[in-house]
Chain A
Amino acid sequence: MEALRAKVAQLLKEKAISGFLGLKLEHGHPSPFLFTGEEGLDLLVVSDTRFPLTKLLQRLTSKYPEEKFGVMVRGCDERSLIELHKDNQVNLEHLVTVGVACSQELAQRCGCKVPYPSQFEVGEPATGVEGGGELESIEGMAEDERFNFWMEQFGKCIKCYGCRNSCPLCYCSECTLEDSFLVPPGETPPKAPIFHLIRAFHTVGRCIDCGLCEEACPVGIPLRTIYKKLGQVVSELFGYSPGKEVEGRSPLSFLGEKPFKEQG
């Protein structure tokens, strides 16, 4: 924690950044805050509570495109920044990331493969969690059973949009989930499975598997399992893992030389 505070204090003092987006412990709860001066840094904390900091960062960078910001990043946050950079939503050159390695407990809770960013100031790298979580057991179901499972899960949805609102990669100014021709407005649960499948398809080639969507879901729909499956397919077909490398673009964001897979 002290290492983080010292690092941020130095960045602010040297004017390397105009502000640092991190977590502030106030009223007993950690929450996002932009630290702009050295005073108040004693409230800057590292915590197992996660917020979509890189999503909130976009509010700041779009209002102040010329300013440089610092941001606290975990492994997942860093992956989201890489993907956002490729989509021209943030400019990595205008950002200074300060890395935090997650605790083993948090890594376990998140089922995170790489629970640390490429460089970090705080924490010890925890062991990554392998496996697809619930995915294996769901894939083991017979087709009817699997369909019923998902329809029952989607039937719980209260259409809060929390999955979208928490997703660091959901940045569209017009959201297809609000297209009244595809999803009739004003219904709970929203039309199933179309509502959830639209969102699933829009995560393809972008989802960095942070799981913030599931954390925000009040009714516990295992959304990440679907996105994970799609991630596997993208990885197998195109050899692409969102957020992994700054080079290369998501296969669905451009038409390459061979946009279609050869038959046979």
Chain B
Amino acid sequence: MNYRTVLTTCVYCGCGCGLYLEVLDDELVGTLPCKTHPINEGGLCIKGWSAHEFVTSEKRLRRPLVKKDGHFVEVDWGEAMGRAAAGLGKIKEERGPQSLALLSSAKCTNEENFLLMKFARGVLGTNNIDHCARLCHASTVAGLAQAFGSGAMTNSTPEIEEADCILVTGSNTTEAHPLIASRILRAKEKGAKLIVVDPRGIQLSSYADIHVRQRLGTDVAWINGVMNIIISEGWHDKDFIERRTEGFEELEKKVKEHTPERAEQITGISQVDLRRIAETYAKAERASIIYAMGITQHTTGTDNVLSLCNLALLTGNVGKRGSGVNPLRGQNNVQGACDMGCLPNLLSGYQSIASDELRGKFEVEWGVKLPKEPGLTVVEMMEAAAGGRIKGMFILGENPLLSDPDINHVREALQRLDLLVVLDIFLTETAELADVVLPGVSFAEKDGTFTATDRRVQRVRKAIEPLGEARPDWQIICELAQAMGGEGFQYKSPEEVFGEIARLTPIYAGITYPRIEERGVQWPCRSEEDPGTEFMHEKEFSRGLGKFTAVDFREPAELADEDYPLMLTTGRSAFQFHTGSLSRKSPSLRRELDEAYLEMNPLDAGELGVPEGEAVKVSSREG
């Protein structure tokens, strides 16, 4: 008889809540919140409370699969690895490394992402590695890096409740990041002003001091309009602009063109409301901006992010506690997958692959030559696969068939490949198209680290043994690399991999497993003495001065017309997650919500004669 609880980090969203997996007689039986954890302090959302449920689902892959005559056959590890290694090797040999591409996983650990990055660049010889961050916060990484020099959430989750004003836009926080929403509500109860700019009424908007609904895709216009008011009223922080920023003159010039009248015309937000937003945000001592997909998932995503950075710089609301520009990252370790360099142009720690010096450091450590030219992004990979230029792909714990835009195109692309190898814990829609499926393990069956949305590197701990013949993903990557002749993949543990990450990645340099034994450490953490960074850009920005960028409003790439008269946007539910690969295997979550749904303005629904709960067929220009 044994009963224990294992402290680990939640596998759903990027909040990074601490939880205990309950293990009774070596079986997972439940989840408990960690009462003393700095993020969740004893609370969890329904996904956290049921985080153990999908782990032991009967649908879990327990043996390797290989497709023979169009059907999957269970095989032993030797055969599956042999086929994967030989297949990837043959394509590399015959068509060159650039005909291979890899997708990494924002659900897997930092160690696994780092190893896959090393495998791609060091063994396969390609920079064609990317992951689903491309489709969510790549515009954040680009925009924040341009403005501040670092592409991550500037402040910390616990600090949110210290803000005097919180501007939430494009984030349905109570649904998507519930334990961050709790901080927003707490700040509000302490007297902070809450501004919600969202096309829909959301749970937070009923607690907002100001809630406005912009016309879809007009974010640059309302932000420029608000800045116009701030500058003409003289509410901007002239001292901060003078000391800490550059590019103000160009911004001022551009913003002058965006009068409140024009902003109202474009966005549908009244001048009165724009003025209230401007005054409330600019006059707050500590104003925090919180955003997510509603800002980034646009053709103008980077412009939207840059505009929010402009607003924060203009009012000096960055580089101090309780302020900042705070993108909420969606997946448990999407921050880490980016940090680990699973991006076509960057090595771990956002070190440019094009830099001879930085690339050279990795070449010395790994003892191999690395490709210099940046690789393909997710979207370009699919394009190249459809066009026959990519012949083989390795996909780790990602389901692009559901998560990418235009799934018909993705299906065609993946079907055209000579070889598709998928490492996952379930037979996802993507895995069904694979030639070889390697069964990995869930967060409950392995050790490692996840990096939460506020740059907090935290431990993941093994609670139970792998199911069936499944193996920890980090071991599978190492075995595959070695089967292909890769050297330097003989790690005894994820901790050893982490040591290598710290050696090669300055922002992680001071982090070790013993240091994050009790509480996570937030990067940048450059030495063992460095306590880590709660909020960034305090004395100077990562790039030196904060940079204003004058941004013009552009309409979205697709607008409503006579043939397609309605606009569709994405949304979130607290009860399901991502493509449902995990959450749809969880009985508690399925009981709440088992299928996706569409919300429509009652007036549109009335005109179309669609009653509540009716099935509708949705078609777009893409299909």
Residues of chain A at the chain B interface (Cβ within 8 Å) = 18-19, 21, 24, 26-34, 36, 49-51, 56, 59-60, 63-64, 67, 155-156, 158-162, 165, 178, 185-186, 188-189, 215-220
Q: Which of B32-40, B233-241, B375-383 contacts A (4 or more CB under 8 A)?
A: B32-40
Task: Give the chain B neighbours of A30 by CB distance below 8 A.
Answer: 35-36
List B residues 1-56 near A (Cβ within 8 Å): 1-5, 7, 18, 20, 22, 24-25, 29-30, 32-37, 40, 42-46, 48-49
| C-alpha gap A59/B40 in the complex (Å) | 25
Assess whether B33 is in contact with A162, with CB atoms less than 8 Å apart.
Answer: yes
Assess whether B592 is in contact with A59, with CB atoms less than 8 Å apart.
Answer: no
Assess whether B574 is in contact with A188, with CB atoms less than 8 Å apart.
Answer: yes
In the complex, given contacts A33-B3, A64-B1, A218-B45, what are 12 additional A-B residue pairs having Cβ atoms less than 8 angstroms apart?
Answer: A29-B7, A59-B29, A63-B24, A156-B203, A158-B181, A158-B203, A162-B43, A162-B49, A216-B43, A217-B43, A218-B40, A219-B181
| C-alpha gap A21/B158 in the complex (Å) | 32
Assess whether B178 is in contact with A158, with CB atoms less than 8 Å apart.
Answer: yes
Assess whether A159 is in contact with B574, with CB atoms less than 8 Å apart.
Answer: yes
| C-alpha gap A21/B4 in the complex (Å) | 10
Task: Give the chain B neighbours of A219 by CB distance below 8 A.
Answer: 181-182, 185
| C-alpha gap A217/B174 in the complex (Å) | 13
The smallest beta-carbon distance between B501 and chain A, in angstroms, is 21
Given the interface contacts A28-B519, A160-B49, A185-B592, does A218 sit within 8 Å of B43 by beta carbon? yes
10 A-B pairs in the complex with CB atoms less than 8 angstroms apart: A28-B517, A28-B519, A32-B5, A49-B36, A50-B35, A59-B24, A60-B3, A160-B178, A161-B588, A218-B40
| C-alpha gap A63/B29 in the complex (Å) | 12
Task: Give the chain A neighbours of B181 by CB distance below 8 A.
Answer: 158, 219
Given the interface contacts A155-B206, A186-B573, A189-B203, does A33 sit within 8 Å of B5 by beta carbon? yes
Assess whether B44 is in contact with A218, with CB atoms less than 8 Å apart.
Answer: yes
Assess whether B24 is in contact with A36, with CB atoms less than 8 Å apart.
Answer: no
Q: Which residue of B lies closest to A186 (CB)?
A: B593
Q: Which residue of A lies closest to B18 (CB)?
A: A29
Given the interface contacts A50-B35, A158-B45, A188-B203, does A36 sit within 8 Å of B20 by beta carbon? no
Q: Find B189's partner among A21, A26, A185, A220 (CB 8 Å cutoff).
A: A220
Grouping DSSP codes into helix (H, G, I), strand (E, B) and loop, the A interface class, with mixed when no group exceeds half, is loop
Assess whether B592 is in contact with A186, with CB atoms less than 8 Å apart.
Answer: yes
| C-alpha gap A59/B174 in the complex (Å) | 31
Assess whether B36 is in contact with A186, with CB atoms less than 8 Å apart.
Answer: no
Check if B429 is an interface residue, CB within 8 A of chain A. no
The smallest beta-carbon distance between B522 and chain A, in angstroms, is 17
The smallest beta-carbon distance between B4 and chain A, in angstroms, is 6
Assess whether A34 is in contact with B1, with CB atoms less than 8 Å apart.
Answer: yes
Task: Give the chain A neighbours of B25 by CB distance below 8 A.
Answer: 63
| C-alpha gap A82/B186 in the complex (Å) | 36
Q: Which residue of A lies closest to B36 (CB)?
A: A29
Assess whether A218 is in contact with B20, with CB atoms less than 8 Å apart.
Answer: no
Grouping DSSP codes into helix (H, G, I), strand (E, B) and loop, the B interface class, with mixed when no group exceeds half, is mixed
Task: Give the chain B neighbours of A186 by CB distance below 8 A.
Answer: 573, 575, 592-593
Q: What sequence of 0s and 1s flags, for each residue 166-188 of chain B, a beta carbon within 8 Å of any chain A beta carbon? A: 00000000110011011001100
Q: Which residue of A lies closest to B40 (CB)?
A: A218
Assess whether B32 is in contact with A31, with CB atoms less than 8 Å apart.
Answer: yes
Check if B540 is an interface residue, CB within 8 A of chain A. no
Interface size of B in residues (CB-CB distance below 8 Å): 50
Q: Which of A30, A60, A63, A218 has the most CB of B within 10 A?
A: A218
Given the interface contacts A28-B519, A158-B574, A185-B593, does A19 sit within 8 Å of B3 by beta carbon? yes
| C-alpha gap A255/B37 in the complex (Å) | 45
Given the interface contacts A31-B5, A160-B49, A165-B49, does A188 sit within 8 Å of B44 by beta carbon? no
The smallest beta-carbon distance between B457 and chain A, in angstroms, is 15
Q: What sequence of 0s and 1s flags, for each residue 479-519 of chain B, a beta carbon within 8 Å of any chain A beta carbon? A: 00000000000000000000000000000000000000111
Q: Which residue of B lies closest to A67 (CB)?
A: B1
Assess whether B185 is in contact with A216, with CB atoms less than 8 Å apart.
Answer: no
Assess whether B35 is in contact with A215, with CB atoms less than 8 Å apart.
Answer: yes
| C-alpha gap A63/B593 in the complex (Å) | 31
Q: Which residue of B lies closest to A165 (CB)?
A: B49
| C-alpha gap A29/B29 in the complex (Å) | 20
Task: Give the chain A neighbours of B178 by CB distance below 8 A.
Answer: 158, 160, 218
Check if B68 is an interface residue, CB within 8 A of chain A. no
Assess whether B43 is in contact with A160, with CB atoms less than 8 Å apart.
Answer: yes
Q: What sequence of 0s and 1s flags, for each residue 197-221 of chain B, a beta carbon within 8 Å of any chain A beta carbon? A: 0000001001100000000000000
Q: Which of A19, A56, A59, A160 has the most CB of B within 10 A?
A: A160
Q: Find B4's partner among A34, A63, A159, A218 (CB 8 Å cutoff).
A: A34
The smallest beta-carbon distance between A19 and chain B, in angstroms, is 6
Task: Give the chain B neighbours of A189 by CB distance below 8 A.
Answer: 203
Q: What sequence of 0s and 1s flags, for each residue 297-328 of chain B, a beta carbon within 8 Å of any chain A beta carbon? A: 00000000000000000000000000000000
Task: Give the chain B neighbours of A60 by CB distance below 8 A.
Answer: 1, 3, 24
Assess whether A34 is in contact with B3, with CB atoms less than 8 Å apart.
Answer: yes
Assess whether B174 is in contact with A49, with CB atoms less than 8 Å apart.
Answer: no
The smallest beta-carbon distance between A206 and chain B, in angstroms, is 21
The smallest beta-carbon distance between A201 and chain B, in angstroms, is 22
Given the interface contacts A28-B519, A160-B46, A216-B33, does A18 sit within 8 Å of B1 by beta carbon? yes
The smallest beta-carbon distance between A250 and chain B, in angstroms, is 27
List B residues 577-623 near A (Cβ within 8 Å): 588, 591-593
| C-alpha gap A50/B186 in the complex (Å) | 22
| C-alpha gap A142/B347 in the complex (Å) | 62
| C-alpha gap A30/B36 in the complex (Å) | 8
Task: Give the chain B neighbours of A161 by CB distance below 8 A.
Answer: 46, 49, 588
Given the interface contacts A28-B517, A34-B2, does A51 sit within 8 Å of B32 by beta carbon? yes
| C-alpha gap A56/B23 in the complex (Å) | 11
| C-alpha gap A219/B36 in the complex (Å) | 16
The smallest beta-carbon distance between B213 and chain A, in angstroms, is 19
Assess whether A216 is in contact with B42, with CB atoms less than 8 Å apart.
Answer: yes
The smallest beta-carbon distance between B26 and chain A, in angstroms, is 13
Q: Which of B42, B179, B519 has the most CB of A within 10 A?
A: B42
Task: Give the chain B neighbours of A51 by CB distance below 8 A.
Answer: 32, 35
List B residues 147-181 near A (Cβ within 8 Å): 174-175, 178-179, 181
Task: Give the chain B neighbours of A217 by CB distance below 8 A.
Answer: 43
| Closest 9 pairs between A and B when the two form their complex, measured CB to CB | A28-B518, A218-B43, A186-B593, A34-B3, A218-B182, A31-B5, A186-B592, A158-B178, A185-B592
